[in-house]
Structure 1
């Protein structure tokens, strides 16, 4: 008998079978990994294990007892909590207010703010979260917000926590600290289900792994008994094949499509010079505090630099002006696809053709037929798994939604691309498609800046610029080793 069991779970959404007689059993005190490609059924299982969805068939048990009624939210919170990839922390509130939202009082009608902060600080201290309960949640780092969410989950009394892609937005040192915290929680008797597309993390922090594929349970195994290749084969139904970067040589006479000189933004990066030629892919690597994301966002106008110039295809767009950057010929894949990449309620066709809407009709109108035709071409080119161009992007799996974001970036045939963490939270096949599309763009003559926390993503780059404390400190040509790149990222000179 496990802390939680899901038996024979079937769930349909119209004609789509999200789970097909699937199940999982998680033993007390374990960190149990759940892995699978996007669309395998992981998110649906999470919604059922947390009482947000009712299965069409099957049952959920906690310590052998039937799960509470869906309407009894307090009972569910006392048994299970989920820390999602997208933070649910409210930035405008304090840490204490976030920890005890809707539970600010203890029996009385008026809030005793001093007592509330004391209660919150006790919870944080109990679970080793070194954060001031009175601090503003909006001032916390992503890592700190996750720790607050974990503490909030445990404050309800739940001893089973689901961690859904918790490392997707963390750098290496922050991931190590999160894993240390997870190990400490295990020693305190907390059971966890860990969802991640980074299979190395499964081997580092989990004891058992369950694989879902095509809405079905495929295998459950002790982690040491399932080699990496066998795990990938279980997820994909085929032998593991690593993504092979294409052989490509940038012509010395290729035009410079993106040029940066003396670019600086206080507190983020300083005096950056950069040139990208047509057909060239340049990587940006570094820790979360290196300034690489801030630099990339400045290139496309999301941030306004204090100093320096940016020239795109011979044009100098106004700094801090996204429409001007796009008009100059930049395509952009943002770091946060949920908030900056697409409009969930709009269709694939509407999202993917936003940059070229003015080209799809006359006199301010849009031809639905022309938009559909363009969208269908993008769907085929990027292998987007969908019912068609009219499906809302919010209904897609993470990997397919990310493909829509890339389709939009490529829609107007940009001369330069800026791509930030394109494979975060997507499965192996989606990674291949996304990286392959960046290489396709380069083959057509576009230059690209690729920012990624994944070393394997950077292997498609012709060269990688390493940033450390806001400055470019090293350039590595294609063929670098992991140890070379990591040493440079950590500021170790060779």
Structure 2
């Protein structure tokens, strides 16, 4: 007899402002299993997660956990039952230490006072169990993305979670970090924990998941053993049609003239060490490297977020002393950050207000902002990028991740740059939206823009870029072209393997 599933969702429906985002959804998560949840941006995955973890309440339907209905589902009741979520944008307190984050809200006390030594000791045990050598006393703000994720997992284990929901956990992890994540997930499954794994990386879903559930336009489509599905079948199910080639043909650069961007021995302390690199008009140059290699730091130094401690930056052959993002924008540089939630867009602002943030001057008449012109421009970008939103004045927080990313790109383009630095441009984006962004980057290059694409997704770099530069420990390890752009050679350079 098959045991009851740990989680059973029945006929779940949810609407926002009259728009149905979940339509009679029913599916289950077996005990001690890893279930993949896939779907395009806007398919309803985030809303489904929020109904399960108590962030929002469904309009109708039921949620049974361990055979009993949870009524009502609140954040507190979900945690009490052992339902823990690790969101795509981590829910950690950066100024606090690792142990303080692990026990946040569940602090240990002794004689009425915080028992800091006991919390540090237990945190060290958890980190050792996860084969992680970060210090329990380290400040979370100093950790890499992969390390922050392990802190989230340690916190979940400490809360004795029975169902761990992971939202896009591998989006900015390199292959060794993904393998370590999968090792941890398998170990948790062996201990009896169930995991709901939400991801757009279908090859990873097939590798790590026991079963795969598909959502499309708010409706449940199917749930099958992962072993019975190919990656192509999963992709076709989530979009409801046959997918064409996701990558456009590779574009070349415009001749061998003066580079659009030239870095000569560029340095920022120990994070960026003497990098010399050229980016030409009409080129899409990839930038690869393991976590902590200095890729984001290099982009931030070029963009004036980080102070340059050595070397030079030339734009169209002219040396520029860029000390702030405002100066970078004035010099014709756009930068799409890897974290759109913190520094890419303002969630509470309407889409139209977000798109004009960098280029507000062109919408002003004296001291006044011409809002009609601003909204008209936003509607143009909505059509150009196929941004799905009720209106240009809808708050960005109501948009799906893919549409938010399109908005962030449009915001940077509104300043008319000649150089575009993309940092993880398809992080957390579904396969269809990724294809749209790839084609748009390709169209920018064809129009003469110089594009630098930083990515942890090697398939992305291989499929999109005619040249790929690789960084290691803050320095440039090499540049690959043509048939040499493959996972093996990229990883050899990134890891320093001869």
| Bin for the TM-score computed over the shorter chain | over 0.9
Partner of 2:173: 170
Q: Runs of 4+ in structure 1 displaced over 6 angstroms? A: none
Further displaced range: 70-79 or 211-220:
70-79
**1:139 Cα deviation (Å)?**
3.2
Structure 1 length as normaliser, TM-score?
A: 0.94
CA distance change for structure 1 residues 261 and 125 in 2, over 3 Å: closer, same or farther? closer
Ranges in structure 2 where 5+ consecutive residues have no aligned partner: none
Structure 2 vs 1, CA of residues 191 and 318 (structure 1 numbering), >3 Å: closer, same or farther? Answer: same
| Greater Cα shift, 452-461 or 231-240 | 452-461
Q: Does the 8 Å CA contact 1:282/1:463 hold for their aligned counterparts? A: yes
Name 1:327's counterpart in structure 2. 330
Which deviates the most, 263-272 or 56-65? 263-272
* Partner residue, 1:285: 288
1:243 aligns with 2:246: yes
Instruction: Tell me if structure 2 keeps the 8 A contact 1:399–1:430.
Output: yes
When structure 1 is superposed on structure 2, of 269-278 and 420-429 the one drifting more is 269-278
Name the CA shift for 1:108/1:70 in 2 (closer, same or farther; >3 Å): farther
**Matching of residues 124-273 of structure 1 within 5 Å:** 124-125=127-128, 130-252=133-255, 254-273=257-276
TM-score of the pair, normalised by structure 2: 0.94
Query: Could you tell me how far 1:247 is from its partner in structure 2?
Result: 4.8
Quote the RMSD (CA, aligned, Å). Answer: 2.0
Which moved further from structure 2: 105-114 or 255-264? 105-114
Q: How does 1:444-483 map to 2 (within 5 A)?
A: 444-458=447-461, 459-479=463-483, 480-483=485-488
Q: CA deviation at 1:73?
A: 0.9
C-alpha contact 1:285 1:489 (8 A) present in aligned 2: yes
Q: Report the CA distance between 1:76 and its aligned residue.
A: 3.2
3-state SS, counterpart of residue 354 of structure 1: coil
Contact kept, 8 Å, 1:333 with 1:422, in 2: the verdict is yes
2:387 corresponds to which of 384, 387, 393: 384
Pick one of 481, 492, 496 that aligns with 1:487.
Answer: 492
Deviation of 1:129 after TM superposition, in Å, equals: 5.0
CA distance in 1, matches of 2:481, 2:132: 41
Q: Give the CA deviation at 1:419.
A: 0.7
Q: Report deviation, 1:55.
A: 1.0
Q: Relative to structure 1, is the Cα distance of residues 116 and 76 closer, same or farther in structure 2, using a 3 angstrom cutoff?
A: closer
Rounded to whole Å, the distance in 1 between the matches of 2:13 and 2:170 is: 29
Question: Are the counterparts in 2 of residues 85 and 164 from structure 1 also a CA contact under 8 Å?
Answer: yes
Q: Which residue of 2 aligns with 1:336?
A: 339
The count of aligned residue pairs is 493
- Aligned-residue offset at 1:231: 0.5
Q: 1:83-115, CA deviations, whole angstroms, 9 ceiling, x for partnerless residues?
A: 111111212222222222233244853223323
Match runs of 1:284-303 below 5 Å: 284-303=287-306
Whole-angstrom CA distance in 1 between matches of 2:13 and 2:167? 21
